[in-house]
Amino acid sequence: MTKQEFKASILQGIPSELPSKKTYPEAGNPAPKRKDILSKEEKKLAVQNALRYFPEAWHAELAKEFAEELQTYGRIYMHRFKPSYAMHARPISEYPSKTEQAAAIMLMIQNNLDPAVAQHPEELITYGGNGAVFQNWAQYLLTMKYLAEMTEEQTLHMYSGHPMGLFPSSKEAPRVVVTNGMMIPNYSKPDDWEKFNALGVTQYGQMTAGSYMYIGPQGIVHGTAITVMNAFRKVLEKNDFPKGKVFLTAGLGGMSGAQPKAGNIAECITVCAEVNPEAAKKRHQQGWVDELIEDMDTLVSRTKQAIANNETVSLAYIGNVVEVWERFFEEEIFVHLGSDQTSLHNPWAGGYYPVGLSFDEANTLMVQNPSAFKEKVQESLRRQIDAINKHTEKGTYFFDYGNAFLLEVSRAGGDVMADNGIDFKYPSYVQDILGPMCFDYGFGPFRWVCTSGNPKDLQKTDAIALEVMKNIKAEAPEEIQQQMQDNIKWIAEAEQNKLVVGSQARILYADAEGRSKIAEAFNNAIAEGKISAPVVLGRDHHDVSGTDSPFRETSNIYDGSKFTADMAIHNVIGDSFRGATWVSIHNGGGVGWGEVINGGFGMVLDGSEEASVRLKRMLFYDVNNGISRRSWARNKEALFAIKREMDRTPDLKVTLPHIVESDILDNLF
């Protein structure tokens, strides 16, 4: 397809003639079939809802097809309407648009749906088994058309994948406002998602999938590398190193697939189990895991060899992690670090596969007998935690990696509760590592995308970011020296680690000062022609300020407010009028539907003075909103960070807590 044909296809939106029916591609990686949860009348409603996108003359034919899709997949994806052009991020100049901001958003949407990036691209799912960009292909077509037509005085409002329409606004307003899964609270249980998603009225946007900000597994590689490096610092002697030490975990999907690469960066032995052979092979082909192993005896001998040789290597075992935990205990293989990154936010629909069943057997049982499948999953979780407990008694440091593992084990009746019967016996990685060491100081996953698609532009941004961070580190206080050094090392080695999948993107952890100074340097470089096209800024929602998640991002909030969601809501509203190009707010994320509210943004830097003003206003608030909340919760690192920020910024005035001595409270009740 030529560039002009591509532009014409975008501008067409819903085609004027009914396209022919498509067969599902043989090489596709289909999403799990969803639960058959709708009544007969509700299935009719789902088809009726889907037909709203199309002229009446097509309804009779499409109604039968959509009913068939609903029965086959549990959802209506409208496969017939998937465009024929290749799905990937193109240079920004190739998109039809009236404003570069809209073109940049189109680029980000296509990157999220690129088969090299997306987990289930035919179903418009980027990662996590259910993290959707859109519910169906009609929504994609309409959204791209609206973006192509948008002016600088219009805003596109997205209702859980549905483009409600272009509304008059202003040049200063966001170009797009995205919501995903924003349910009335009493309708936010897992089966509510199954039902209302099947009806076509809401979707699970995960975190960065439904806000068009996913950049492939690079983002989670960095977070995992930071986590694993700091976890080893907790368990090793000061002058010891991770080489030859074992990190055992599970999952090689859209997010979890980053673990082997992160382990290599941390320089340990990573053993990662994955039940889906295709997922494991994909990561091996991409170079994100060193070796594939399908036999347990081979895994045991290879792991022992790696320990003996003090290696840095990543081993993917195609099988169930429960059996690895059990066999490693029998073989007396000492595991220094243990975790799990299966998609346990979605335990009954392909997020976790029980031990004792093959991958295909589990998929069949999941659909044909959901209650039996649930029993198998919970039995497997109890068996897994029993094996983990044996390892931790010998000194293994186990942490929950924010995938609701401990939560689901507790619901399954597994031995995971602390002596007080309230807390889990193992910490989340945020409680022990990222919360006090990064988030409370304002460090989080800042990212950018070079819209030219030119690797040379990415190299220039790497060099700029590295110089800025070195300059900041030279004046930084002792409290954040380690964070600065870890990220300087990361960005210096980023290109050689071959982290790019899809768009020319990069991520690093930076605080408000670092983000603003890096962004300003990018904007100046664009203005001077040193970078050839605009740069899109963003972040993972998994950050200082964007997410309220009591079992992950805000699990180290101890004043009783971790179940509130004010911070995330203020974040997205505050960013929207301070200069974000688009904003998003979602129900759900890595720990599950109904368990978290998270918000994100995107910002286009075009070298203009206006962009310079916007980035300073918005990036400052986007971080310090979260530090303020964390300081009010009496987190000492956040108190340090917000006091330091107020010293630097006279206009910032934050309410600080008075610290109460514990002996005053001891005998009150």
Average pLDDT, the chain: 95
pTM, 2 dp: 0.89
pLDDT above 90: residue 497: no
Domain boundaries, the chain: 3-138+168-199, 217-429, 436-663
Q: How confident is the model at residue 128 (pLDDT cuts 50, 70, 90)?
A: confident
Q: Give the Cα-Cα-Cα angle 116, 119, 125 (nearest 5 degrees).
A: 115
DSSP for 35-60, please give it.
P----HHHHHHHHHHHHTTS-GGGHH
Residue 129 marked ligand-binding: yes
Query: d(Cα 192, Cα 194) in Å, to the nearest integer?
Result: 5
Question: Longest C-alpha distance within the chain, in Å?
Answer: 77
pLDDT recorded at residue 254? 66
- 68 in a labelled binding site: no
Instruction: Dihedral sign for Cα 341, 344, 347, 350, please.
Output: negative
274 is in an annotated binding site: yes
C-alpha 403/C-alpha 418 separation (Å) is 19
For Cα atoms 484, 490, 494, give the angle at the middle one, nearest 5 degrees.
Answer: 150
Q: What are phi and psi of 424, to 5 degrees?
A: -80, 150
Give the domain 436-663 fold. Answer: Urocanase fold (3.40.1770)
Ligand-binding annotation for 590, yes or no, is yes
Query: C-alpha dihedral over 28, 34, 38, 41, to 10 degrees?
Result: 0
- Return the closest-CA partner of residue 490 out of 511, 462, 516, 457: 462
**CATH number of the structural domain 217-429:** 3.40.50.10730
| 602, containing H or E segment | strand 597-605
Weakest mean pLDDT among 3-12, 198-207, 209-218, 410-419: 209-218
Tell me whether domains 217-429 and 436-663 share a fold: no
- Residue 501 carries which DSSP code? -
pLDDT of residue 607: 98
For residue 592, say whether it is annotated as part of any ligand binding site: no
Q: What is the pLDDT of residues 611-652, one digit of tens each?
A: 999 999 999 999 999 999 999 999 999 999 999 999 999 999
The residue-averaged pLDDT of 459-478 equals 97
Nearest alpha carbon to residue 453 among 211, 103, 133: 103
Per cent of the chain over pLDDT 90 is: 85
Sign of CA dihedral 546, 552, 555, 560: positive
Which tens digit of pLDDT belongs to each residue from 156-177? 999 999 999 999 999 999 999 9
Residues in the chain: 669
User: What does the pLDDT look like over 300-331, one tens digit per residue?
Assistant: 999 999 999 999 999 999 999 999 999 999 99
